[in-house]
Structure 1
Amino acid sequence: MQGTQHGESAAPAGRSGIRRAFFASLTGTALEWYDFAVYSAAAALVFGDLFFPSEDPLTGTLLAFSTYAVGYVSRPLGGFLFGRLGDVIGRKKVLIATLVLIGAATFLIGVLPAYATAGVAAPIALVLLRFAQGVGVGGEWGGAVLLSSEFGDPRRRGFYASAAQVGPPAGSLLANGVLAALGALLTEDQFLSWGWRVAFLLSGALVGFGLWIRAKLEETPVFKAMEAEQSRPVAPIREVFTTQRRALAAAILSRVAPDVLYAMFTVFVLTYATDRLGMSRGSALAAVLVGSSLQVFLIPLAGAVSDRVNRRLLYGCSAVAAGVWPFVFFLTADGGWLPLALGVVVGLAIHSFMYGPQAAFVAEQFSPRLRYTGSSMAYTLAGLIGGAVAPLLFTALLSSYDSWVPLALYIAATAVVTVVGLCLGRDAAHAEHEEARQTAAPVAEPATPVQ
């Protein structure tokens, strides 16, 4: 059962405001993840040959996935920088800045010369732009979660917060769909020569649409209440590390398995299907497209279910399933496209029932005045030990052992880590009671934003 409403009850948003916030959170995050996902797919399919030429295809793939990891390594910088600003100057301003940063970086990747033209400068520029993408995504997630959840009823936080969670599959669906269409319309030489660039250049138009939506929004009721009460934090990063350590640990660990499972079934599966199973690029992308399209509906469903049952229990059961399913997937994936597609769909469905409740669970670990900072730090730091290294480890393990068993064991180990994080965390009712107390007795010491 959910608790009493908090600061937003002082300035309730109407249904139209809630819907706009939900749509802005979903579309803005989807556009940013389109940028991120189109890079991920291109890293698996194109970048090894174009930017990291090598006689050994595996070496080129490893180097391409290294640039994929750079996007995760840079996320903590974005989480620390934009998370802090989100608690000090507001959610809306920060979310506009992150959208511009990611869109500009993605567009520029689309016009980069390849290694054959620019030499070593090409991969260096690619890495720098990937770094910029990661900084933007690191600051985006926490704000997108709060944008929708702070306008909505806390008793439905799981559903409202899931708007931001739909972004990755929606962005992946759009990115892979564009790449699949280009691959079908163009010859192999045309796709490798210039076709892949079209997907990156489309980012300019998409970001303009996202900016138009976000610019029309007001600041969230919770941040307005913090301003009115003069309870904005002066040093939110320091406060999180000194007063919210258990919350930070719980939020970080809970995110590891979802990141790794997602990397397996949307990124590495493309390489596995083409290199190990001998499938075409289009067939591998089609399997991911089917799974991602279902996630667009399953993630908000999972978030809504988590409002009606114990959120941690639903998340934990899904984490256990995540540890088991890869063993089934690898045993059956070599039976053709249908078993592969079914394996991807089930894997992403399991991911949905972790990822749907995740945004609300992470946000509930932190007090309202530190939520942007705490959530962003947890999100980005978890990425370093989860999604950042997963494709590299998958590739290295498969190369070293020539077997899928170490890959499945690795995913199972991350599921254990996530269950530990959930055990450390707290339930929704505790978070809402804290919010109610803060509303009744706001922080007495005024805080001035740091210049």
Structure 2
Amino acid sequence: MSSMLEFYDFALLIFLAPTLRLILFPHSDIQTHQLLLLSIFASGYLTRIIGGIWFSHYGDRLGRKSTYIKTVAIMTAASFGIALLPSYAESGYVGLICLIFLRLIQGLSLGGEIPGAIVFAAEHSEINRRGFTTGLIVAGVTSGNVVASGLLVLLTTYLSHDSFTQYGWRLMYIAGALFSLFSLYLRQSISETPVFLELKNKVETFPAKIFLRRYKSKLILGVLITSAPAIAISSIYQLYYLSDITLALPISMHTFILLSFICTCIGAIVSGLVSDKIGRIPIIRLSCIIIFLLPLSYHCFYKCSLLLAFLPLIVNSALISGVYEATLSELMPTQIRFTGIALCLNLAFSTIGGCSPLLMEWLNLHGVNSAISWIPAFISIPLFIASFYWKDHFNLSLNSNN
């Protein structure tokens, strides 16, 4: 739940970009301003790498709990700051500069938050429930998107456009900050993981250095498995900007994306549960095969049914989201697990997840709307190939990898 509340704060920018464009820029050159905001969105992903290295270093050396608490405290402060940003009419570009700074701070926080949540869940869970437990973490994080898009639908329905532009978007950030305070309260009662306590006297002095020197193959595999959910979630975000195909859907695009994230949440739990029975690799391969169908479904159905056009994307998102966190946990030795997961996760989400909306929007503005279909399929090819050389550890203890 606490990860859901924190990711809500981080994801708000992509949902509110059209509104913030009106607040933080002069009313000219709309397309350029849209790309600038997506660049700011990407900047938060890029600083996730730094945050991941910083927090995972202390998480592997001193314990998981303390870093898990600090990340949410930082996110709370950043969200309050964004809610108070001055408009362009009030202070010129001061608000934009502050947004960039606060977005970078959000990235630092999330860079340690998600890896910490994965490690906590995996190391506290039983062997035969690890996929289900980490699937719940993914569902919780994705629920941040559900809450953000759901609240956006609610406020834009009951507030006028002027009211939402004036103060409605600020309410969303204030709500996020309050959510994070509640999350901070919840984390005070958590205990250190038993897997870390078992090896507490064997911690590495510089976990990142050890990981990069000894485990290069694990870094490559970790980035491959994490790239799949990164591009899937980013592609769902990008649906907001495909205005030319929204007529193919009887409901609003906001509602369609909300339903897509709900399906991802539910599917991740089911996928994780099934992977505890049959392994992670079969589901990874199935998710890749399904996403390979996306260019075909888009070509055949985007003019008549948005649901059929993007059904492979939604199913792929649900399947891969349910297994990638457990797979990462089982890939890494305990002494450097936090660091290894943080590096792989943040590298993939920073490059693939953070930059792909910017790339897709640029291609969309230049008439290449189909990029949203072939980019996810293309990125999944290396993962599909690697899955045939990957040993599945779904039924082994996490300490067996030490």
One-letter code aligned to 2:181: G
Secondary structure, in 3 states, of the residue corresponding to 1:307? Answer: helix
**2:8 — aligned with what?**
34
Count of residue correspondences: 402
Aligned counterpart for 1:132 among listed residues 105, 113, 120: 105
CA contact (8 A) 1:51 1:123 kept: yes
1:362 aligns with 2:335: no
Distance in 2 (CA, whole Å) between partners of 1:53 and 1:372 is: 43
TM-superposed CA distance for 1:343, in Å, is 4.7
**1:101 — aligned with what?**
74
**1:8 — aligned with what?**
none
TM-superposed CA distance for 1:31, in Å, is 0.5
Aligned counterpart for 1:206 among listed residues 144, 157, 179: 179
TM-score, normalised relative to structure 1 = 0.84
One-letter code aligned to 1:304: L
TM-score, normalised relative to structure 2 = 0.94
The worse-fitting range, judged by mean Cα deviation, of 382-391 and 74-83 is: 382-391
1:148 aligns with 2:121: yes
Q: For 1:174-193, what aligned pairs fall within 5 Å after superposition?
A: 174-193=147-166
Q: For 1:325-340, what aligned pairs fall within 5 Å after superposition?
A: 325-329=294-298, 331-335=300-304, 339-340=305-306
**2:275 — aligned with what?**
306
1:388 aligns with 2:358: no
One-letter code aligned to 1:107: F
Distance in 2 (CA, whole Å) between partners of 1:161 and 1:260 is: 19
One-letter code aligned to 2:184: L
**1:7 — aligned with what?**
none
CA deviations over 1:399-437 (Å, ceiling 9, x no partner): 22x1333442222211113324545543115963x7247
Change (3 A) 1:412 1:277: same
Q: For 1:52-451, what aligned pairs fall within 5 Å after superposition?
A: 52-53=25-26, 55-227=28-200, 230-265=201-236, 267-272=237-242, 274=243, 277=246, 283-329=252-298, 331-335=300-304, 339-341=305-307, 343=309, 347-400=313-366, 402-423=367-388, 425-428=390-393, 432=397, 435-436=399-400, 438=402
CA contact (8 A) 2:57 2:208 kept: yes
One-letter code aligned to 2:264: Q
CA contact (8 A) 2:127 2:394 kept: no
Q: Percent identity?
A: 26
Distance in 2 (CA, whole Å) between partners of 1:345 and 1:68 is: 26
Distance in 2 (CA, whole Å) between partners of 1:420 and 1:239 is: 27
One-letter code aligned to 2:369: W
Distance in 2 (CA, whole Å) between partners of 1:106 and 1:319 is: 36
TM-superposed CA distance for 1:82, in Å, is 0.7
Distance in 2 (CA, whole Å) between partners of 1:275 and 1:102 is: 35
Change (3 A) 1:340 1:103: farther
CA deviations over 1:302-336 (Å, ceiling 9, x no partner): 0111111131221122022123224413542333x
CA contact (8 A) 1:248 1:365 kept: no
One-letter code aligned to 1:240: F
CA deviations over 1:371-421 (Å, ceiling 9, x no partner): 000001100011232111111111111222x13334422222111133245
Change (3 A) 1:79 1:165: same
Secondary structure, in 3 states, of the residue corresponding to 1:219? Answer: coil
One-letter code aligned to 1:242: R
Secondary structure, in 3 states, of the residue corresponding to 2:293? Answer: helix
CA contact (8 A) 2:264 2:321 kept: no
**1:445 — aligned with what?**
none
Change (3 A) 1:146 1:225: same
CA deviations over 1:154-194 (Å, ceiling 9, x no partner): 23211112222113320011011111111011111111111
CA contact (8 A) 1:148 1:161 kept: yes
One-letter code aligned to 1:254: I
Secondary structure, in 3 states, of the residue corresponding to 2:58? Answer: helix
Distance in 2 (CA, whole Å) between partners of 1:279 and 1:92 is: 47
Distance in 1 (CA, whole Å) between partners of 2:144 and 2:163 is: 24
RMSD: 2.2
Ranges in structure 2 where 5+ consecutive residues have no aligned partner: none
Distance in 2 (CA, whole Å) between partners of 1:64 and 1:424 is: 40
CA contact (8 A) 2:3 2:140 kept: yes
Secondary structure, in 3 states, of the residue corresponding to 1:148? Answer: helix
Change (3 A) 1:130 1:189: same
Secondary structure, in 3 states, of the residue corresponding to 2:85? Answer: coil
Distance in 1 (CA, whole Å) between partners of 2:56 and 2:389 is: 23
CA contact (8 A) 1:254 1:420 kept: no
**1:12 — aligned with what?**
none
